[in-house]
Amino acid sequence: MNEYEKEEPASRRDFLCGAAQQAAGAAIILAFGEQLVAFSEAAAGETAATAEASAGVPYDPLKHRYLYLIDVAKCIGCGACVRACALENDVPDNHFRTWVERYMVSRTGEVTTDSPNGGKDGFEPLLTGQDITKAFFVPKLCNHCSQSPCVQLCPVGASYRSPDGLILVDEKRCIGCGYCVQACPYGSRFIHPETHTASKCTLCYHRITKGMLPACVQACPTGARRFGDTQRPGDEVTEIVASSPVRILKPEMNTEPNCYYLGLSQEVR
């Protein structure tokens, strides 16, 4: 129950109630009509209470459009972001809403990658036995794509793109079929072992709507992760994305991600 529920001025329900009462000839319709009236009254009561409870929370999803920026050169692979995300969102063990990958590239171009426990406990020194010439960490999370395959194929309308530009899963609608988990080119989704519904990064919707930073961004000690809003005048992240050589992951998928990477090496998949 929240401020997103609003009173419908002249809903189908009200119309039906009126119509049903007028059509007094058919007893069966009257029977339905009575139930409909009772139903609409209950709904109206709820809406009034909701409006009161949420007065003073002036967040309008239509006035924001979020984006995310990752500066690969700054990431030290500490995993603070992964730990913060898990605590903030009660992410089950061995599942990740965000994670950090390590890339080690040899002189001959061999790429070694690892992400032990999603980088949650940090990284141990790794000997690849190769002449490593380039090594870096790449934080990953849901790209909140503008053209997201997960939303397109959800059969029940549980996955959606919100007006503020986030890809979210309505837990109450999700039937746990797992199509979206397979469809996501970035591996950003998983089926929650307890709820058996699809689960994923929400960019900490419960925080950003209160003006706070997503937990991962706040936890990052080096500023490798940044969060912006294109609708905020003078937004720094929007400015960086607009004026710097940023890249997105898997552009060939045409998903139009809203997570941008600064200094991303071409080995990253």
Partner 1 sequence: MEHTKHLWRAFLILLVLGVAGIFVRHFLIPESFGEQGFYRYTSLGEFKEKPVIHGAVGSCTSCHQEIADTKTAGKHASVSCEVCHAPESVHAAGGQKIADMPTNPSHTLCATCHQFLEARPKEFPQVDVTQHLIDLGVMAKGEAIPDGACIVCHQPHTL
Q: Does 172 bind partner 1 (CB under 8 A)?
A: yes
Q: Which residue is it, tokens 């199509």?
A: 179
For residue 189, the partner it binds in ligand SF4, partner 1, none, with Cβ less than 5 to 8 A by kind, is none
The CA-based dihedral angle spanning residues 206, 212, 214, 220, taken in that order and rounded to the nearest 10 degrees? -150
Among 21, 117, 146, 209, binds partner 1 (CB under 8 A): 209
Q: Does 118 bind ligand SF4 (CB under 6 A)?
A: no
Strand partners, 168: 160
Q: Select the span of 70-78, 107-115, 128-136, 202-210 touching ligand SF4 (CB under 6 A).
A: 70-78
Q: Does 85 bind ligand SF4 (CB under 6 A)?
A: no
Q: Are 88 and 97 in contact (CB under 8 A)?
A: no
Cα–Cα distance measured from residue 150 to residue 38, given in angstroms and rounded to the nearest whole number: 38
Q: Does 220 bind ligand SF4 (CB under 6 A)?
A: yes
Q: Does 125 bind partner 1 (CB under 8 A)?
A: yes
* Number of residues engaging ligand SF4 in binding (CB under 6 A): 15
For residue 96, the partner it binds in ligand SF4, partner 1, none, with Cβ less than 5 to 8 A by kind, is none
For residue 139, the partner it binds in partner 1, ligand SF4, none, with Cβ less than 5 to 8 A by kind, is ligand SF4
Q: Which residue is it, tokens 């940023």?
A: 246
Q: Are 174 and 157 in contact (CB under 8 A)?
A: no
Q: Are 260 and 246 in contact (CB under 8 A)?
A: yes
> Which one, of 199, 172, 201, 161, lies nearest residue 61 by Cα?
161
Q: Does 203 bind ligand SF4 (CB under 6 A)?
A: no
Residue ranges that bind ligand SF4, judged by CB under 6 A: 75-81, 100, 137, 139, 219-220, 222, 224-225
